C-alpha cells in the first residue's frame, strides 16, 4: 500500500469528479436525450443494472455478489501488479503511474456504482453500439497504456513471473501470520 499512497489524492479526485457528474445527471438531467455530434455521439443517461458490460451478455456477471467479487479482484490485481512491476523495475515511469491511477479510479468508481447506485449510470452513447461513462474512459486509458507498456517490457516481465511473485508473497504472509511483508 505504501507504493500507492502518493497516488491516492489523484485517484480520489478522479473518483469524486466521476461521482459528482453522476449525481448532477441523476438529479438534473436524467431524462435528457441530446445529440452531441450528429448521429455519432449522444448524451442519453441510462442505468445499467447488469453491473458490468459482461453482465449484458452472460447472466452470471449480472449478479451483484459476483460483480462485486470480480471488482475487488480487479483492484487486488491492479495493486499487486503495480507492486510486482516496482519490484522488478525499481523505477516507476509516468505511464505506469497513469495505469494505476486511472485503473484504480475506474475500478473504485465501478465498485461504488454497483454498491451505491445499484448499477452504473452511463450517459455517453455511441448510437447502435453502447453507452458508457467517465469511469469507462478511465479504465480504457489504463488498459491502452497497460498494453503499450506490457508489449514494451514483455521480455522482462511475464505472467509466469508475476504468478510466482504472488505465490511467494502469499507464502511470506502466511509464515508471518498475516503481518506486513517488507
Residue 4's closest CA among 73, 114, 80?
Answer: 80
Residue 113's closest CA among 88, 143, 90, 134?
Answer: 134
Residue 135's closest CA among 99, 98, 94, 102?
Answer: 102
**What are the tens digits of pLDDT across the range 96-127?**
999 999 999 999 999 999 999 999 999 999 99
> Which residues of the chain have a pLDDT value below 70?
1, 178-182
- Give the per-residue pLDDT at 178: 61
**What are the tens digits of pLDDT across the range 59-70?**
888 888 999 999
Question: What are the contacts of 169-176 at 24+ separation with CB within 8 A?
Answer: 169/80
Secondary structure of residue 125 in the 3-state scheme = strand
Amino acid at each position: 500500500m505504501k507504493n500507492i499512497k502518493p497516488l491516492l489524492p489523484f485517484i480520489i479526485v478522479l473518483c469524486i469528479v466521476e461521482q459528482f457528474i453522476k449525481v448532477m445527471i441523476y438529479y438534473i438531467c436524467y431524462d435528457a436525450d441530446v445529440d452531441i455530434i450528429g448521429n455519432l455521439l449522444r448524451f442519453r443517461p441510462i442505468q445499467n443494472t447488469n453491473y458490468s458490460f459482461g453482465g449484458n451478455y452472460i447472466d452470471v456477471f449480472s449478479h451483484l455478489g459476483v460483480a462485486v467479487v470480480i471488482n475487488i479482484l480487479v483492484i487486488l490485481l491492479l495493486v499487486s501488479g503495480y507492486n510486482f512491476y516496482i519490484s522488478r523495475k525499481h523505477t516507476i515511469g509516468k505511464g505506469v503511474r497513469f495505469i494505476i491511477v486511472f485503473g484504480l479510479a475506474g475500478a473504485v468508481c465501478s465498485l461504488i456504482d454497483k454498491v451505491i447506485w445499484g448499477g452504473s449510470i452511463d450517459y455517453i452513447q455511441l448510437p447502435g453500439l453502447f453507452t458508457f461513462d467517465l469511469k469507462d474512459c478511465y479504465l480504457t486509458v489504463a488498459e491502452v497504456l497497460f498494453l503499450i507498456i506490457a508489449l514494451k517490457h514483455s521480455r522482462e516481465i511475464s505472467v509466469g513471473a508475476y504468478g510466482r511473485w504472488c505465490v511467494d508473497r502469499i507464502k511470506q504472509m502466511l509464515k508471518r501470520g498475516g503481518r506486513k511483508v517488507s
